[in-house]
Structure 1
């Protein structure tokens, strides 16, 4: 028995945040939204998936953003993505260097920490 792979990452969001999630994840990060199964859609939230990249946002009643724990997304054209995010009002910040990568952190519309990594 062993763990084989990560199926998806679940992030929390406040009630009613679906439009902001769609703007950030689908429009800015270009991860397409997929329909949630009907029995889960009633809970709110939204799912974004492309191939093996699966980011699910679920509504949390007493929402607090994840400011330390975070997903790290592999990206291409990090400079272009940083500019797109900046133009939309999302600041990407640097952190300690990580050998082999350019990387930045950005907070999603709800304050959840997101790492963006581009291999050198």
Structure 2
């Protein structure tokens, strides 16, 4: 018996970056965020960019020639220990902007080194 068709999960989130930014992205996503770089398939690796994972969360950074970071669009990433996670990002030079407007959650925003907006949130206990 086959399962009914439907969405079951987010596989990954694609963000963009300017050409030649892979080294600063690697430093941020592996160092500050604590993610692991995962290999891109060779046919896609030839296009540049890099992919990262932490548990089931995957962020793919693809090269875009006319890159301009989105002003509002962003992935929302759930974390545990949000205070310590924010401190970790700040210790890596990331600016953390707390936002208390989402009921039932603690959250903040930051930007990666190329300007992509990232949201981190944790439900209240």
Structure 2 unpaired stretches of 5+: none
* Residue number in structure 1 paired with 2:46: 42
Residues 66-101 of structure 1, C-alpha deviations (whole Å, 9 max, x = no match):
220100111111111211211222111022421221
Matching residue within 52, 57, 60 for 2:61: 57
> 1:67 — aligned with what?
71
Give the aligned partner of residue 95 of structure 1.
99
Q: CA RMSD in A?
A: 1.2
Q: Paired residue for 1:82, among 73, 81, 86? A: 86
Q: Name the residue aligned to 1:112.
A: 116
Moved over 4 A (4+): none
Which 10-residue stretch deviates more, 16-25 or 90-99? 90-99
**TM-score w.r.t. structure 2 length?**
0.89
State the shift of 1:43 in Å: 0.5
Q: How many pairs does the alignment contain?
A: 120
Rounded Cα–Cα distance in structure 2 between residues aligned with 1:96 and 1:51: 27
Q: Structure 1 stretches of 5 or more lacking a match?
A: none
1:10 aligned to which of 14, 18, 35: 14
Q: Normalised by the size of structure 1, how large is the TM-score?
A: 0.93
